Amino acid sequence: MNYTIDHVSPWVGAVNERQKIVECMNDLWTELQVILDMELRAGNLVFQASRNWPDPGSVFITLKKPFHQSYPVKDPVKYSEPKDSHYWEADYSCGKPVHVLAC
């Protein structure tokens, strides 16, 4: 998918801030982009993105809404539910450095 600032929640901020999120989306591991693409097609938007956490070189993307469905998990993708109200609800992750798509 060709990611644009239209895939980022308008509440995030100025266009330049949303463009930085788009750059993170483009750098996300391909295995996670497949899930991201399905979420975007279902109407979800990206709410946050950051780099270098939890590892140097990591990409961490948070969706605005919960995942619309469960996605099949096969190596190297992992699924987890942190079950801690201080964190996100669920995530898919993979790679080294680890990239995360959370909601």
pLDDT in tens, 67-90: 999 999 999 999 999 977 788 999
* Full-model pTM: 0.95
Name the DSSP class of 22.
H
Instruction: Tell me which residues of the chain have a pLDDT lower than 70.
Output: none
Q: Which helix (H) or strand (E) holds 14?
A: none
Task: Specify the pLDDT at position 26.
Answer: 98
Q: Token digits for 83?
A: 């079950």
The domain segmentation of the chain, as residue ranges, is: 5-102
CA gap 101, 77 in Å, rounded: 11
Task: Specify the pLDDT at position 12.
Answer: 79
CA gap 90, 83 in Å, rounded: 8
b vs e for 48-76, b when ≥16 Cβ sit within 10 Å of the residue's Cβ? bbeeeeeeeebbbbbbbeebeeebeeeee
